Structures are given as structure tokens and as C-alpha cells.
Amino acid sequence: MISFRHHVASLVAVFAALAVGVVLGGGPLSELGRDDDEPAPQQTSDSSAHAAYGDEFAEASASTLYGDRLSGQQVAVLSLAGADTEITDGVVTQLEAAGAQIAGRYEGRTNLTSPDQQGMVDSLATQLTEDLDLGDAVPSDLASHERIGRLLGRAVVSTQPEGEAADTTSGTILDVMETGELVTAPTERVGRVPFLVVVMGEERDDATATALLTGLVSGLGSAALGEVVVGSTDSGDDGDLARLRAEDLGDVATVDGGETLVGQVSAVLGLAAVRDGVAGAWGAFGNDGAVPVAAAGAPGGTDDDTADGE
């Protein structure tokens, strides 16, 4: 495991490279932060100083890294029960700094992912699917929380790049889920948007809860054009985010370190990468590196020759 100081140092190097247009892929920079043999420093104050420097560097380079890749993009934010408001607010601030428009902020309540309420969620998903004739989009053979995730996704997000207008179906889903104390939605119903950021909630450290969370995240992801899940550094180390990453999330991206500015900037870069067709696990404990890299070319845009994924 890398030390915190070494991780921050690698982040600064990565941000510096990105800010001047270096594309990371092979090369020595791609291995920064991966030295498992370096001993961890013992002085907390030293680590804090490095963390502060990393955040300052991220703040200074963020606008350059964002470019216009998310300009005008509609994004919904879902904070799960017990989510750190500083993480949520920080990610929202960075999304807005990148030019994204926050279409709606939703809160997942305890019932949404509580193992004690799985039966209720299952019944509610069945009822909504039948009443709204959504069997094709929400197959009955899926587990309870993947179905509820798809239903919530039907109300909040869309696979269409331009999004879709709110309709009776989306309104009914949100009304029922609010009545069942699963979510809290904006008072004024908004349209369905292409992109979703999910902020992890309180740690459960429970296999059943992990399975429910995996289903929810996967279900939401199947209904959106792009989704990023953001958690804390600790959660990415050996917490719920680490366990979530061990599951098959499809094209859902994850970012840890959400309590830091570096992590919040990385969450936005992660969403931009997903928009460009690249999903990964990023952060101090992400398998795909410390910071999401532009899907193609220099940061700030996608090269025409690579926009189709070549």
C-alpha cells in the first residue's frame, strides 16, 4: 500500500502533467503512486502539509483540466443516507466550476439500502413495475435493488445525451418512493438528465448491504448515459467503496478521496471521462490510477479522431 504523502506527491505530478497537456498511458508517470515498497511516513503534520499542497495545486489547475468537456451538461446528484455534506457540496461546486448544470439534488434515505427494509423495497419495486407497465425496462428476475435502481433511474436520468422531459411516469415513481421514505426529491420536478453522481453514505460493513448497494448503483447506471460514485479515502481503502469496487458495476466509474479537493476534482474528471466512454476506478485506492485522464488528446476536449472510441 502506498503512503499518503507519496500518493499526494503522485497526484501533484499527474495534475501537473495533465495541465500541460501530457497524455498518460504507458510511460513512467502512469506508475506514480504504485510503489508498494516505500515505507509510510509517521508524521501526521507532514502528511497534512502535503495534502494541503495537493488541494492547492488541484484548485489552481482544475479549470485547465476541465476545459469545456462538461460545459452545459445536465447532472443529477444523489447523496445516500449518511453522506458527508462537505463531499456532496464540494463535488457540486466543482461540477459547476466545470460548467455543468445541476438539474436536481436527491437524497437517498436509510430505507433505500437498509437490509431490514429489503422486503419492502422488493414489494415496492414489483408494484411500481406492474402499475406503470415497465416490465421491459425492469425485468422481474433482477434482484430487488437493481430493480429499484432502474426505477429510480427512470425517474431521474436518461441514456439520451440531451436528456428527457419529466413525465407522469417519472413523477409517479418519485411520489411513491418519497411516500415509502426511500428518497427525498426536489419539490419542483425536473427533467431526466444524462449524468448522475452518487455520493456514498454511512459505512455499513455488511455483505448484504453491499449487495443491495451494488444493485442500486448498477440499476441507476443502466438508466443513465454516465454515472460516477464518489466515496471517502477510507471507504476506498477497506470500506464500502472498496467492497463495491469488487463487484461488477458495468460502466459505472468510482472515485475515492471525496473529502479532499483533489478527490472532488477527480470526481468531475471522472464524469468527463465517462462522458468520453471511459469508466474506471480512480483515487488513492483505485485500480486505474490516482486521477482520471482525458479519454483522448489533451485535457479540455476530445480529439475528433478519437471521439468514437478509436
Q: What are 131-156's pLDDT values in tens digits? A: 999 999 999 999 999 999 999 999 99
Distances in Å between the Cα of 148 and the Cα atoms of 4, 122, 197 are 37, 8, 17
Is residue 142 domain-resident? Answer: yes
Task: Give the tens place of pLDDT for each residue, 54-85.
Answer: 677 677 788 889 999 999 999 999 999 999 99
Q: Which residues of 250-272 are buried (b: 16+ CB within 10 A; e: fewer)?
A: eebbbbbbbbbbbbbbbbbbbbb
Question: Phi and psi at residue 150, in whole multiples of 5°?
Answer: -65, -40
Cell of 304: 475528433
Domain count, the chain: 1
Is residue 3 domain-resident? Answer: no
Is residue 131 domain-resident? Answer: yes
Is residue 251 domain-resident? Answer: yes
In 10 A of CB 308, how many CB atoms?
9
Helix (H, G, I), strand (E, B) or coil at 260: coil
Average pLDDT over residues 191-199: 98
Residue 294 — very low, low, confident or very high, per pLDDT cuts 50/70/90? low
Name the burial class of residue 120, with classes exposed (0-12), middle (13-18) and buried (19+) by CB atoms within 10 angstroms of its CB.
middle
The answer to which of 16-30, 153-167, 204-218 has the lowest mean pLDDT is 16-30
CA nearest to 294, candidates 15, 6, 5: 15
Q: Report the pLDDT value the prediction gives residue 292, as an integer from 0 to 100.
A: 85
CA nearest to 87, candidates 233, 207, 186: 233
Residue 17 — very low, low, confident or very high, per pLDDT cuts 50/70/90? low
Structural domain for 135, as ranges: 68-292
Q: Report the pLDDT value the prediction gives residue 11, as an integer from 0 to 100.
A: 59
CA nearest to 182, candidates 252, 114, 85, 230: 114
Q: Contact at 8 Å (CB) between 74 and 104? A: no
CA nearest to 155, candidates 190, 200, 207: 190
- Grid cell 455488511 in the structure block, residue: 206
User: What does the angle CA 152 – CA 73 – CA 165 come to, to the nearest 5 degrees?
Assistant: 50
Question: Phi and psi at residue 227, in whole multiples of 5°?
Answer: -140, 140
Separation of alpha carbons 246 and 293, rounded Å: 22
Residue 168 has pLDDT above 50, yes or no: yes
- Positive or negative, the Cα torsion across 161, 301, 58, 35? positive
% of the chain with per-residue pLDDT over 90: 71
* Residue 24 DSSP code: P
Average pLDDT over residues 147-176: 98
Q: Contact at 8 Å (CB) between 267 and 258? A: yes
Q: Report the pLDDT value the prediction gives residue 52, as an integer from 0 to 100.
A: 63
Residue 261 — very low, low, confident or very high, per pLDDT cuts 50/70/90? very high
Mean pLDDT, the chain, integer: 85
Residue 299 — very low, low, confident or very high, per pLDDT cuts 50/70/90? very low
Is residue 300 domain-resident? Answer: no
* Residue 38 DSSP code: S
Q: Contact at 8 Å (CB) between 182 and 124? A: yes
Residue 25 — very low, low, confident or very high, per pLDDT cuts 50/70/90? very low
CA nearest to 201, candidates 283, 143, 114: 114
Average pLDDT over residues 280-294: 88
Residue 189 — very low, low, confident or very high, per pLDDT cuts 50/70/90? confident
Separation of alpha carbons 114 and 205, rounded Å: 12
Separation of alpha carbons 278 and 273, rounded Å: 5
Q: What is the pTM of this model?
A: 0.83
Is residue 213 domain-resident? Answer: yes
